[in-house]
């Protein structure tokens, strides 16, 4: 008896591998592998989440009115043009499902987010990888990759896993260089961590242009990774198409309550941003001091730093050495980064400990 056979493009998908939380020998470790908020979650969000526990028997509002109105008020948007889902991952899948299919091509940048090729292949489309420019988005390379079959372009800004950032001018140039029938998806999962008031103009483009979608998440700065709340903003036509394939109850009542409360907790937001800016800068400076040992920090605007190992100490050895000391970071040989570790900015103590361990590992490698 023959078993059902999956579509061939499904079997071409390399499953997503999440950041680990345990060492090889099963010990629970300090987790710096998934870019979670080291300061936890807003107290207001925790209180709102707990207060919603009396509604477990009820379905969530399938229209997510409360969340959409809160986001619209926070960011000055039209609530009717906001889509929501189970983390921004679902939004990234929804847009591929609505606008790409067999025979189409979708572009993303080398060293781009691992969900992009999964979302692309899931609908039978062909992923096209544009070369990077020293681990950063290369607009010219993206534009050179466009063919008559191109339907979408994914750009994470800041990029994951490199942390690099494309300026407002570069994003505008990219959009201007794309055909009007190509959908530009700007993934802003880490946008809240950008220094100062820098803005790539993506939300303005999503407001005014018919072919731009911006995605955001509550999993990072807001510390709500467990509740999987994501959202996106685009023209009414794009959002209407995505709603046709959206799961009807993809965000929970308690998660929604926590997200709305987190949006309005300005003190927690600013504390998180200040902490990340301080210790990201300190960490990058400390890695720069190890440059004579072959370590290099890729400039980051996110809540992590990609450290390249180009000397005697390899990324694999550093990964295992950190694990032996109870720290899990992200080693990504499957994404062409066998020579790098993506390291989340943790607490002050965690961040200092990672540097101290790397210093010891370098000394050991030198003998």
Average pLDDT over residues 188-201: 90
**Percentage of residues of the chain with pLDDT beyond 70:** 99
- With beta carbons less than 8 A apart as the criterion, state whether 231 and 83 touch: yes
Amino acid 28: pLDDT:
84
Amino acid 299: pLDDT:
97
Higher-confidence position of 179 and 13: 179
Kindly give, in sequence order, each residue whose CB lies less than 8 Å from that of residue 322, ignoring residues fewer than 6 positions away: 328, 329, 341, 354, 357, 358, 361
For residue 136, give the nearest of 112, 120, 118, 117 by alpha carbon. 112
Q: What is the pLDDT of residues 10-52, one digit of tens each?
A: 888 887 777 776 777 777 889 999 999 999 999 999 999 999 9
For residue 256, give the nearest of 231, 291, 292, 235 by alpha carbon. 231
User: Model confidence at 54, in pLDDT bands (50, 70, 90)?
Assistant: confident
Q: What is the pLDDT of residues 196-211, one digit of tens each?
A: 767 899 999 999 999 9
Kindly give, in sequence order, each residue whose CB lies less than 8 Å from that of residue 251, ignoring residues fewer than 6 positions away: 60, 64, 67, 84, 85, 86, 227, 228, 229
DSSP of 240-304, one letter per residue? HHHHTTS-TT-S-HHHHHHHHHHHT-HHHHHHHHHHHHHHHHHHHHHHHHTGGGTEEEPP-SSSE
Kindly give, in sequence order, each residue whose CB lies less than 8 Å from that of residue 33, ignoring residues fewer than 6 positions away: 19, 20, 21, 328, 329, 330, 342, 344
Q: What is the pLDDT of residues 68-127, one digit of tens each?
A: 999 999 999 999 999 999 999 999 999 999 999 999 999 999 999 999 999 999 999 999
Establish how many alpha carbons lie within 13 A of residue 341's alpha carbon, considering only the half-sphere containing its beta carbon.
26
Decide if pLDDT at 53 tops 90.
Answer: no
Q: Supply the pTM of this predicted model.
A: 0.94
**Percentage of residues of the chain with pLDDT beyond 90:** 86
Average pLDDT over residues 290-310: 97
- With beta carbons less than 8 A apart as the criterion, state whether 154 and 106 touch: yes
- With beta carbons less than 8 A apart as the criterion, state whether 159 and 137 touch: yes
Residue length, the chain?
Answer: 367
Q: What is the pLDDT of residues 85-98, one digit of tens each?
A: 999 999 999 999 99
Amino acid 30: pLDDT:
93
Amino acid 165: pLDDT:
97
Average pLDDT over residues 238-244: 97
Amino acid 366: pLDDT:
80
Average pLDDT over residues 305-330: 97
Burial of 74 (0-12, 13-18, 19+ CB in 10 A): exposed
Amino acid 9: pLDDT:
85
Amino acid 325: pLDDT:
95
- Mean pLDDT across the chain: 95
Which domains occur in the chain, in start order? 18-40+267-362 (3.90.1150.10), 43-264 (3.40.640.10)
Amino acid 8: pLDDT:
86
């Amino acid at each position: 008896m023959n078993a059902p056979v999956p579509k061939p493009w499904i079997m071409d998908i390399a499953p997503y591998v999440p950041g680990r939380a345990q060492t090889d020998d099963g010990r629970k470790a300090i987790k710096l592998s998934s870019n979670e908020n080291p300061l936890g979650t807003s107290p207001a969000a925790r209180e709102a989440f707990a207060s919603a526990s009396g509604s477990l028997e009820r379905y969530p509002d399938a229209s997510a009115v409360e969340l959409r109105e809160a986001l619209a008020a926070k960011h000055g948007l039209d609530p009717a043009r906001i889509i929501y889902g189970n983390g921004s991952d679902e939004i990234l899948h929804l847009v591929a499902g609505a606008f790409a299919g067999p025979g189409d091509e979708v572009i993303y940048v080398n060293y781009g987010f691992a969900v992009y090729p999964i979302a692309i292949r899931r609908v039978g489309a062909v992923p096209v990888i544009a070369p990077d420019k020293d681990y950063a988005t290369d607009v010219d390379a993206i534009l050179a990759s466009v063919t008559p079959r191109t339907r979408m372009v994914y750009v994470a800004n800041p990029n994951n896993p490199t942390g690099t950032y494309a300026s407002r001018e570069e994003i505008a140039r990219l959009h201007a260089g794309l055909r009007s029938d190509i959908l530009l998806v700007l993934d802003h999962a880490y946008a809240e961590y950008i220094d100062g008031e820098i803005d790539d103009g993506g939300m303005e483009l999503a407001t005014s242009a018919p072919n731009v979608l911006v995605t955001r998440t509550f999993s990072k700065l807001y510390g709500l990774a467990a509740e999987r709340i994501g959202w996106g903003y685009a023209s009414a036509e794009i959002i209407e198409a995505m709603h046709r394939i959206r799961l009807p109850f993809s965000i929970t009542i308690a998660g929604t309550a926590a997200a709305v409360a987190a949006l309005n907790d300005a003190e927690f937001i600013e504390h998180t941003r200040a902490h990340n800016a301080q210790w990201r800068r300190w960490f990058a400076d400390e890695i720069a001091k190890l440059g004579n040992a072959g370590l290099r920090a890729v400039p980051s605007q996110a809540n992590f730093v990609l450290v390249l190992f180009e000397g005697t100490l390899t990324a694999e050895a550093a990964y295992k050495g950190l694990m032996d000391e109870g720290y899990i970071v992200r080693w990504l040989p499957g994404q062409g980064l066998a020579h790098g570790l993506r390291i989340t900015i943790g607490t002050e103590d965690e961040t200092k400990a990672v540097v101290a361990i790397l210093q010891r590992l370098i000394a050991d490698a030198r003998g």
